[in-house]
Amino acid sequence: MPIDHRLSEEYEALRATVAEFARDVIAPKIGGFYEQEEFPYEIVREMGRMGLFGLPFPEEYGGMGGDYFALCIALEELARVDSSVAITLEAGVSLGAMPVFRFGTEEQKREWLPRLCSGEMLGAFGLTEPDCGSDAGGTRTTARLDEAAGQWVINGTKSFITNSGTDITGLVTVTAVTGRTDDGRPLISSIMVPSGTPGFTVSKKYSKVGWNASDTRELSFTDCRVPAANLLGEMGRGYAQFLRILDEGRIAIAALATGLAQGCVDESLEYARSREAFGRPIGANQAIQFKLADMEMRAHTSRLTWRDAASRLVHGEPFKKEAAVAKLYSSEIAVTNAREATQIHGGYGFMNEYPVARMWRDAKILEIGEGTSEVQRMLIARELGLTG
């Protein structure tokens, strides 16, 4: 029996719905938000009403009863039009809500997930630090348990944290050193910190090259106290937990990158058909045709990588290598397609009024966030059995 790579009716209906929303609601408005570096609250609220933030979560927690594959379908279609909105959803789900779902107690899930799934509240994940990027095991933020008060006392700084300072941010989960092993290695735990907790300071927005309509901040904790019950998962298992979260998140980033790459094809194809030079559309020139053919080939292949990884995830199969392959390939071809799209548009590609200029600015971070390209190559090599 032949293998069918087509989407099921349910997945295709979701894809079409999100595509229409992206085209009709996001596309006409997002340029203004992007240039003003404003967070698009109304768009995010509409995404919440559509159930996008609850896609992979069970209905008992306020979710839509879908899966991670469904989330990635939505991310690709959003990023096909705009990456700021797509990363807001990706971070809100895979980094904000998913740790609570994967590792939280039943009480924690029922307290936080309904609001996170509805989009009423955004969650964030505080991992990266100013002196600790790819070396997440070098975490310097500390959390000391004050047993008498029944509280964690957190001190440290987190950087480049998405969704951490919006008006609807309600929760940041941070990794912190909570002890040491007998041989001196740090024991890292994950602790939930509600927004507004005394001692928790959110800095002003970063001035970024891209993703300008998304929220990214530095966070600092100075004797910040939260209840001992805010420990997420097992004490000392925070490092292992975040590795699992990042493995999943890499598939989501791959889907987002695929959307950006396909969006570059969409915009360039339309431009090549309408822009005339030397008496005919530039799309009649073989040089432009070959560029577009290569761009479509890369986007199509990228889609296959994330769908393979996501399928393995939802079927409970090993997916670490496939997630790294998808993230590495998709992010790098997104950068390539954005560069080629800008070239096809010529001088107009350097003007912010054209979506490809925004895509060009948004693409580079995909090779850095949630594991750099170098880290992905390291992970793939390890999965192939290579060490050292």
**Which are the catalytic amino acids?**
370
Sign of the C-alpha dihedral, residues 306, 14, 104, 125? positive
**114: buried, middle or exposed (CB in 10 Å: 19+, 13-18, 0-12)?**
middle
Contact criterion met (CB below 8 Å) for 185 and 223: no
Contact criterion met (CB below 8 Å) for 347 and 222: no
The number of angstroms, rounded, from the C-alpha of 152 to the middle of its chain's C-alpha atoms is 28
- What is the chain's alpha carbon radius of gyration, rounded to the nearest angstrom? 21
- What is the C-alpha to C-alpha distance for residues 86 and 259, in angstroms, rounded to an integer? 9
- What is the C-alpha to C-alpha distance for residues 15 and 19, in angstroms, rounded to an integer? 6
Mapped onto helix, strand or coil, the DSSP state of residue 3 is: coil
Residues in the chain: 388
- What is the C-alpha to C-alpha distance for residues 78 and 72, in angstroms, rounded to an integer? 10
CA angle 357, 361, 364 (to 5 degrees): 140
